[in-house]
């Protein structure tokens, strides 16, 4: 339940019992290993078993087990075996209350369950799996450990078919009329990975209605699969699957492109199931009074894509609409931005700074090392002779104290470590336990609490790298544990205290580009109290959206834009510079300086800012094809929408539209994403103005993804004719006095048809703005189509590789206005993480040059993947800026005189481990 | 995942395989290791753009240096995998061990003086 108003919500949460206390559970997994009860493993889609005491998957957060009481027999074995005493058989459902200012709903979606569709035989024929199941089969952590096998006989399949649109684009067998947006791409991916995993020549066929690989760089992947890796794409929707009972193979009957009926046998069939909102989430929405649309996704509007019907409550991910990971991560950023924007006034008010004692100076002291060996319950102690390792550690050089603990990570052990640090005057600490990935930070904090520099710490992983994998050889594991401890102690002795430099942050943003993306990003930051300088190369704001009238949903773009420009223009925190261009750039995250020339000014202005948001936008491609520019009756979709809005069609009896003009061809292999919906939008508009007008849309694949599919359905219902052509045989357009003549081969009739339209509208693609100068001045990477490249497609979709630089809108790639708005908020959200504080701490793990011995050969300058080392001519030295260094250590390896050292990974700190390991022979 | 792999493998952590120096690889062989291998991210997936590509170059360089002085270059190898591929990690560990067992002990071992 959520009661109250934005800024002051009272949230009631129900905690379902887990029967294992997540705070006490160490994730060791002994309960699951001893549990005698098996249950269906849902995460592997029933392809294997799990225990009643279980964890969903190895990467789960928190890494804590739970008991499935539906199958648990209550034998008590796990309670007896659990050394951490985390089992709670009497755990009960309980409620708790939270007071929050904003709420974000992101319960996600789930795959469509095809068991109700008997003609596919899922659940009946073992070798028919869902795409979710197949994903698990391919996974190294899945039921077959990543080996490509089919469920019936664990044989490697020779031929696999994927059937697209199972539970999507289907109002006949299920109520999901929408397109799930992700299935085409994941089917291609699964086929490619399956081919990689296969030992023989695996035949992969994807049966589809349209291939919808519309995302950034997705078309290139599709082409690679088709042309290079030989994945077959068949335009057909399969009606029935039959099993050959003797072999378990599956027979598909389908009509091929020429209309011939074919029968093909496959060893395995994958159903590409769509995404839908589970009933539990629909109930959640009802309880919270959030409106859903007819497809059960959260009802949102094009200009407020992550706002729910209830103010102060936002949404993101598949609950908002079907989408892929980059889209979900971006939307998550947008929701976080708006949730935080509402609460900007109270930012940081509940934060209590951690009190850290002043650091002790240990630089003159000889190393005094304390070693703490962990039993990790029985995870280590059950295999390794921990006492022996402890005694061994005591005898190592510089070790003044060694101890063992049941769980070194527990809170009381931290107190014990602190006592021992003080009691023995320890100045280096080694913990021999598990992975630094999970626990290093916590132990470092323990050191800091005693006034020790946190970099005087080293871990030996005697669990994951030892006891867990050598459990059958206790003596061998004990010996290896001693080796690992000896190596860690050697390194600890050479560790040096490191300083994390604190730099100031200029709490101002520079936004480049004054379109919908740039203005939304600027406004989001300004509303949180940050100053923004918005620069635009044109005399006015608006960008490409200035050429749009309505969205396909019917929302008024002109009115929205006018309001947005008004709001941005009058905001006291936003300074707008039009007719501005960037002429110079320098600095690093938190402290950039950009030179801008405005209009015909001769003087340059210098702007100091902490972050950059790149939103330079895109434009409509100007066609060279199909007589555009030669015949007035040939226009683009944007020009058609101008005509439709301004004066109507003026009695045209027929209109032809041609898709993929300037997209998906040799010159521009990418899909422009938005043109299919533009064509459908304009076609529906024509039908509204003049229902008698005949409309033909000539297409290659209709890519009305997500909820846009409903408009495609509506268009077909209204009699708009869709004719598919292939890239090899495009339509022929001729001009004559009587009209334009369009000739196209109809794929159903298998013959040429001729149309004489009054108007020919070309769905011209989206091209990036000319950003040659900007990208070379600011060193921003672009792909071959001229769109800027994000730091990571999935994990950091709005960050650019350089810290403090973010990206949004069509500068990133073609997208809808609603997607642009989400991305702009997401970029603002990421920028806020830099601007929120007036100072930021830099990592101490970075490269330092010993300028005394450096011969200035510039090898490091040439080798750094981030162009950080620079030659300072005045001082005559090589400088590596701590704020820019990523800490990879490439320069340290190439330096011929070894005058560069990487903090925490100095050469002798690595070499000593090699020496220590080999000192006792192998 | 607790996948078993040979005990003779000991791991040294580096921030990126781009940090692995020719010196580190040579020192291991010089001090008597029978083999040494570098495990990096998949090519094209380096968090630091090109660290793993540089590591491969260095590994290849060390292999040719070893051949030059009459040792087997195959005592030094480079493998690539993603962090989600535990079974592949274990498979490479076994493969490397088998490779080293086939090559036999490092002939330099007898020259190593121990404290």
Convert the pLDDT of each residue in A588-626 to its tens digit. Answer: 899 999 999 998 888 899 999 999 999 999 999 999 999
Q: Residue B77's pLDDT is what?
A: 97
pLDDT at B113 over 80: no
Ordered alpha helix ranges (H), A148-253: 183-197, 218-223
User: Which of residues 406 through 465 in chain A touch B, CB cutoff 8 A?
Assistant: 436, 461, 465
Lookup result for tokens 């949903």: A553
Q: Do A918 and B84 touch (CB under 8 A)?
A: no
Q: Residue A348's pLDDT is what?
A: 82
B71 located within any domain: yes
**SS3 string of A619-654?**
EECCCCCCCCCCCCCEEEHHHHHHHHHHCCCCCCCE
In 3D space, the residue among A661, A666, A664 whose CA is nearest the CA of residue A678 turns out to be: A661
In whole angstroms, give the CA distance from residue B46 to residue A839.
29
Q: Do B50 and A865 touch (CB under 8 A)?
A: yes
Which residues pair with residue A613 across a beta bridge? A511, A806
In whole angstroms, give the CA distance from residue A229 to residue A503.
50
User: Which of residues 38 through 67 in chain A touch B, CB cutoff 8 A?
Assistant: 58
Say if CB A637 and CB A679 are below 8 A apart: yes
Q: Do B12 and A911 touch (CB under 8 A)?
A: no
* Alpha-carbon separation of residue A228 from A186, A222, A224, A232 (angstroms): 18, 10, 5, 11
* Set of chain A residues whose Cβ sits within 8 Å of the Cβ of B22: 893
B62 located within any domain: yes
* Set of chain A residues whose Cβ sits within 8 Å of the Cβ of B28: 914, 918
Question: What pLDDT, in 10s, does the model give residues A228-269?
Answer: 999 999 999 998 899 999 999 999 999 887 778 899 999 999
In whole angstroms, give the CA distance from residue A286 to residue A373.
52
Q: Residue A774's pLDDT is what?
A: 95
Residue B43's Cβ-count burial label (10 Å; 0-12, 13-18, 19+) is exposed
Q: Do A888 and B48 touch (CB under 8 A)?
A: yes
Q: Do B5 and A469 touch (CB under 8 A)?
A: yes
In whole angstroms, give the CA distance from residue A756 to residue A744.
12
In whole angstroms, give the CA distance from residue A423 to residue A177.
70
In whole angstroms, give the CA distance from residue A793 to residue A519.
24
Considering only CB atoms, A465 lies closest to which of B11, B24, B34, namely: B11
Tokens of A285: 């929405």
Q: Residue B115's pLDDT is what?
A: 54
Tally the residues of chain A: 922
B5, B6, B7: which to substitute to probe chain A, counting the most A Cβ within 10 Å? B7
Beta-carbon contacts of A395 under 8 Å, excluding residues fewer than 6 positions away, are none
Q: Do B19 and A888 touch (CB under 8 A)?
A: yes
**How close is the nearest chain B Cα to the Cα of A859, in Å?**
13
Considering only CB atoms, A907 lies closest to which of B15, B21, B84, namely: B21
The residue in chain B having the minimum alpha-carbon distance to the alpha carbon of residue A58 is B1
Residue A485 near chain B (CB below 8 Å): no
Residue A196 near chain B (CB below 8 Å): no
B37 located within any domain: yes
* Alpha-carbon separation of residue A769 from A537, A619, A786, A825 (angstroms): 11, 6, 8, 21
Angle at A459 between CA A918 and CA A419, to 5 degrees: 125
Q: How far is CA A335 from the centre of its chain?
A: 15
pLDDT at A363 over 60: yes
Q: Is the ipTM of this complex over 0.85?
A: yes
B22 located within any domain: yes
Tokens of A189: 């991916």
In whole angstroms, give the CA distance from residue A604 to residue A613.
21
In 3D space, the residue among A569, A514, A568 whose CA is nearest the CA of residue A543 turns out to be: A514
B56 located within any domain: yes
B114/A389: higher pLDDT: A389
In 3D space, the residue among A597, A592, A562, A595 whose CA is nearest the CA of residue A578 turns out to be: A597
* Alpha-carbon separation of residue A707 from A183, A290, A334, A645 (angstroms): 14, 19, 20, 24
In whole angstroms, give the CA distance from residue A411 to residue B109.
45
A889, A892, A906: which to substitute to probe chain B, counting the most B Cβ within 10 Å? A889
B34 located within any domain: yes
The kind and range of the H/E element at A612 are strand A611-614
The residue in chain A having the minimum alpha-carbon distance to the alpha carbon of residue B19 is A889
User: Which of residues 456 through 475 in chain A touch B, CB cutoff 8 A?
Assistant: 461, 465, 468-473
Q: Residue A288's pLDDT is what?
A: 96
Which residues pair with residue A301 across a beta bridge? A304
Question: What pLDDT, in 10s, does the model give residues A740-751?
Answer: 999 999 888 889
In this structure, the number of other CB atoms found within 10 A of the CB of residue A843 comes to 15
Q: What is the DSSP letter of A156?
A: P
**How close is the nearest chain A Cα to the Cα of B68, in Å?**
21
Q: Indicate the SS3 state at residue A301.
A: strand
Q: Indicate the SS3 state at residue A593.
A: strand
**SS3 string of A749-791?**
CCEEEEECCCEEEEEECEEECCCHHHHHHHCCCECCCCCECCC
Q: Residue A651's pLDDT is what?
A: 77
How does the average pLDDT of chain B come out, rounded? Answer: 92
Tokens of A777: 């001045």
How does the average pLDDT of chain A come out, rounded? Answer: 94
Tokens of B85: 């591929």
Say if CB A892 and CB A901 are below 8 A apart: yes
Q: Residue A378's pLDDT is what?
A: 84
In this structure, the number of other CB atoms found within 10 A of the CB of residue A683 comes to 27
Residue A863 near chain B (CB below 8 Å): yes
Largest CA distance in chain A: 100
Q: Indicate the SS3 state at residue A531.
A: strand
* Alpha-carbon separation of residue B10 from A174, A421, A687, B7, B33 (angstroms): 55, 29, 71, 8, 11
**How close is the nearest chain A Cα to the Cα of B64, in Å?**
18
Q: Indicate the SS3 state at residue A430.
A: strand
Q: Do B14 and A141 touch (CB under 8 A)?
A: no
Considering only CB atoms, A140 lies closest to which of B28, B48, B86, namely: B86
Question: What pLDDT, in 10s, does the model give residues A507-565?
Answer: 999 999 999 999 999 999 999 999 999 999 999 999 999 999 999 999 999 999 999 99
**SS3 string of chain B?**
CCCCCCCCCCCCCCCCHHHCCHHHHHHHHHCCCCCEEEEECCCCCCCCCCHHHHHHHHHHHHHHHHHHCCCCHHHEEEEECCCCCHHHHHHHHHHHHHHHHHHCCCHHHHHCCCC
* Set of chain A residues whose Cβ sits within 8 Å of the Cβ of B8: 922
* Set of chain B residues whose Cβ sits within 8 Å of the Cβ of A30: none
In whole angstroms, give the CA distance from residue A95 to residue A93.
7
B86/A270: higher pLDDT: A270
In whole angstroms, give the CA distance from residue B90 to residue A146.
13
Say if CB A915 and CB A481 are below 8 A apart: no
Considering only CB atoms, B1 lies closest to which of A58, A436, A907, namely: A58
In 3D space, the residue among A326, A816, A733, A798 whose CA is nearest the CA of residue A551 turns out to be: A816
Range of the domain at B80: 17-104
**How close is the nearest chain A Cα to the Cα of B94, in Å?**
13
Tally of structural domains, chain B: 1
Beta-carbon contacts of A769 under 8 Å, excluding residues fewer than 6 positions away, are A616, A617, A618, A619, A786, A811
**How close is the nearest chain A Cα to the Cα of B20, in Å?**
7
* Alpha-carbon separation of residue A257 from A207, A697, A699 (angstroms): 12, 19, 15
B12 located within any domain: no
Which residues pair with residue A53 across a beta bridge? A67
Q: Indicate the SS3 state at residue A698.
A: strand
In this structure, the number of other CB atoms found within 10 A of the CB of residue A266 comes to 23
Tally the residues of chain B: 115
pLDDT at A440 over 70: yes
CA atoms within 13 A on the CB side of A245: 1
**How close is the nearest chain B Cα to the Cα of A481, in Å?**
10
- For strands A250-255 and A241-243, give the pairing: antiparallel
In this structure, the number of other CB atoms found within 10 A of the CB of residue A604 comes to 12
In whole angstroms, give the CA distance from residue A533 to residue A573.
8
In whole angstroms, give the CA distance from residue A315 to residue A300.
9
Question: pLDDT band at A13, cuts 50/70/90?
Answer: very high
Q: Do B87 and A140 touch (CB under 8 A)?
A: yes
Q: Residue A219's pLDDT is what?
A: 96
pLDDT at A407 over 70: yes
The residue in chain B having the minimum alpha-carbon distance to the alpha carbon of residue A483 is B10
Tokens of A337: 């931005």
Chain B interface residues (partner A, CB cutoff 8 A): 1-5, 7-8, 10-16, 18-24, 27-28, 31-34, 47-51, 54, 58, 84-88, 90, 109, 112, 114-115
Angle at A645 between CA A642 and CA A649, to 5 degrees: 85
Say if CB A907 and CB A892 are below 8 A apart: yes
In 3D space, the residue among B25, B80, B19 whose CA is nearest the CA of residue A863 turns out to be: B19
In whole angstroms, give the CA distance from residue A879 to residue A893.
17
What is the percentage of chain A residues whose pLDDT exceeds 90?
Answer: 87
Question: pLDDT band at A630, cuts 50/70/90?
Answer: very high
Residue A715 near chain B (CB below 8 Å): no
Q: Where are the beta strands (DSSP E) in A352-447?
A: 369-374, 399-405, 428-433
A140, A886, A906: which to substitute to probe chain B, counting the most B Cβ within 10 Å? A140
The residue in chain A having the minimum alpha-carbon distance to the alpha carbon of residue B49 is A865
Question: pLDDT band at A177, cuts 50/70/90?
Answer: very high
B66 located within any domain: yes
Considering only CB atoms, B16 lies closest to which of A888, A911, A920, namely: A888
Average pLDDT over residues A681-699: 96
Q: Residue A108's pLDDT is what?
A: 95
Q: Residue A627's pLDDT is what?
A: 96
């Amino acid at each position: 339940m959520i009661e109250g108003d934005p800024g002051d919500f009272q949230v009631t949460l129900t905690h379902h019992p887990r029967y294992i206390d997540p705070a006490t559970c160490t994730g060791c997994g002994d309960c699951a290993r001893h549990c005698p009860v098996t249950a269906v493993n849902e995460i592997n889609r029933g392809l294997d078993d799990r225990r009643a005491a279980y964890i969903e998957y190895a990467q789960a957060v928190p890494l804590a087990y739970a008991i499935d009481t539906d199958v648990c027999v209550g034998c008590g074995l796990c309670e007896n075996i659990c050394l951490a005493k985390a089992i709670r058989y009497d755990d009960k459902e309980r409620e708790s209350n939270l007071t929050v200012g904003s709420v974000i709903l992101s319960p996600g979606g789930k795959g469509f369950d095809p068991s109700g569709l008997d003609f596919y035989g899922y659940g009946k024929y073992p070798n028919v799996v869902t795409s979710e199941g197949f994903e698990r089969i391919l996974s190294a952590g899945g039921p077959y450990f990543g080996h490509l096998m089919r469920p019936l006989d664990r044989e490697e399949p020779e031929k696999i078919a994927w059937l697209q649109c199972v539970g999507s684009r289907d109002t006949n067998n299920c109520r999901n009329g929408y397109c799930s947006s992700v299935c085409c791409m994941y089917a291609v991916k699964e086929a490619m990975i399956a081919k990689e995993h296969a030992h023989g020549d695996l035949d992969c066929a994807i049966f589809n209605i349209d291939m919808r690989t519309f995302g950034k760089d997705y078309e290139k992947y599709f082409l690679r699969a088709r042309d290079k890796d030989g994945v077959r794409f068949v335009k057909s929707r399969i009606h029935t699957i039959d099993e050959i009972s003797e072999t378990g193979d599956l027979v598909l009957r389908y009509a091929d492109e020429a209309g011939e009926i074919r029968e093909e046998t496959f060893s395995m069939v994958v159903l590409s199931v769509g995404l839908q909102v589970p009933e539990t989430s629909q109930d959640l929405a009802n309880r919270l009074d959030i409106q859903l649309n007819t497809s059960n996704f959260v009802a949102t509007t094009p200009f407020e894509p992550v706002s729910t019907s209830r103010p102060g409550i936002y949404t993101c991910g598949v609950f908002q609409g079907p989408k892929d990971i980059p889209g979900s991560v971006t939307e998550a950023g947008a929701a976080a931005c708006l949730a935080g924007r509402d609460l900007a006034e109270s930012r940081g008010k509940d934060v209590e700074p951690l009190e850290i004692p002043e650091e002790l100076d240990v630089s003159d002291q000889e190393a005094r090392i304390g070693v703490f060996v962990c039993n990790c319950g029985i995870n280590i102690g059950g295999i390794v002779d921990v006492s022996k390792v402890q005694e061994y550690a005591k005898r190592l050089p510089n070790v003044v104290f060694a101890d063992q603990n049941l769980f070194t990570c527990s809170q009381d052990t931290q107190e014990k470590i602190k006592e021992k640090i003080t009691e023995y005057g320890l100045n280096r600490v080694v913990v021999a336990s598990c992975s630094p990935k999970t626990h290093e930070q916590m132990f470092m904090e323990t050191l800091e609490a005693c006034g020790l520099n946190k970099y005087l710490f080293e871990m030996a992983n005697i669990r994951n790298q030892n006891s867990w994998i050598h459990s059958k050889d206790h003596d061998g594991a004990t010996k290896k544990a001693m080796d690992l401890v000896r190596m860690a102690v050697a390194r600890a002795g050479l560790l040096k205290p490191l300083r994390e430099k604190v730099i100031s942050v200029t709490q101002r943003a520079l936004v480049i580009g004054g379109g919908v993306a740039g203005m939304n990003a600027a406004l989001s930051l300004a509303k949180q109290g940050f100053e923004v300088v918005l620069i635009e190369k044109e005399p006015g704001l608006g960008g490409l959206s200035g050429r749009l009238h309505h969205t396909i949903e019917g929302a008024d773009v002109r009115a929205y834009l006018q309001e947005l420009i008004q709001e941005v223009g009058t905001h006291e925190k936003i300074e707008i510079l039009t007719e501005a261009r960037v002429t110079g750039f320098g600095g690093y995250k938190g402290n950039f300086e950009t030179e801008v020339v405005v209009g015909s000014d001769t003087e340059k202005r210098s702007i100091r800012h902490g972050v950059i948001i790149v939103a330079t936008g895109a434009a409509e491609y100007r066609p060279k094809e199909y007589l555009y520019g030669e015949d007035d009756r040939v226009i683009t979709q944007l020009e058609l929408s101008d005509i439709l809005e301004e004066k109507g069609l003026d009695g045209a009896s027929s209109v032809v539209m041609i898709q993929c003009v300037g997209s998906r061809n040799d010159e521009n292999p990418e899909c422009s994403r938005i043109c299919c919906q533009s064509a459908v939008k304009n076609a529906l508009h024509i039908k509204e103005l003049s229902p008698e007008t005949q409309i033909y849309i000539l297409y290659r694949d209709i890519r009305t993804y997500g909820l846009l599919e409903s408009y495609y359905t509506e268009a077909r219902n209204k009699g708009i004719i869709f004719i598919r052509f292939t890239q090899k045989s495009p339509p022929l357009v001729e001009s004559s006095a009587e009209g334009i003549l369009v000739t196209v081969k109809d794929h159903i009739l298998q013959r040429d048809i001729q149309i004489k339209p009054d108007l020919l509208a070309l769905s011209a693609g989206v091209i990036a703005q000319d950003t040659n100068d900007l990208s070379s001045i600011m060193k921003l990477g672009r792909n071959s189509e001229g769109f800027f490249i994000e730091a990571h497609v999935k994990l950091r979709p709005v960050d650019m590789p350089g810290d403090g630089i973010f990206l949004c809108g069509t500068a990133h790639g073609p997208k809808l206005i609603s997607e642009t708005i989400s991305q702009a908020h997401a970029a603002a959200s990421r920028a806020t993480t830099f601007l929120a504080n007036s100072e930021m701490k830099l990592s101490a793990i970075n490269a330092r040059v010993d300028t005394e011995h450096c011969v200035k050969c510039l090898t490091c300058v040439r080798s750094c993947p981030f162009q950080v080392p620079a030659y300072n001519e005045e001082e005559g030295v090589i400088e590596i800026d701590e704020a820019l260094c990523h800490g990879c250590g490439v320069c340290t390896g190439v330096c011929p005189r070894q005058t560069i050292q990487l903090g925490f990974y100095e050469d002798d700190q690595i070499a000593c481990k090699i020496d220590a390991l080999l000192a006792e022979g192998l | 995942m607790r996948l078993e792999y040979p005990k003779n493998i000991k791991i040294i952590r580096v921030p990126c395989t781009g940090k692995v120096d020719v010196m580190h690889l040579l020192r291991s062989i010089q001090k008597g290791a029978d083999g040494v291998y570098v495990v990096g991210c998949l090519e094209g997936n380096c968090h630091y753009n090109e660290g793993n590509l540089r590591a491969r170059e260095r590994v290849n360089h060390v292999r040719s240096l070893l051949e030059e002085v009459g040792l087997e270059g195959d005592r030094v190898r480079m493998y690539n995998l993603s962090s989600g591929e535990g079974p592949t990690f274990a498979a490479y560990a076994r493969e490397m061990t088998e490779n080293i067992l086939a090559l036999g002990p490092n002939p330099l071992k007898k020259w190593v003086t121990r404290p």
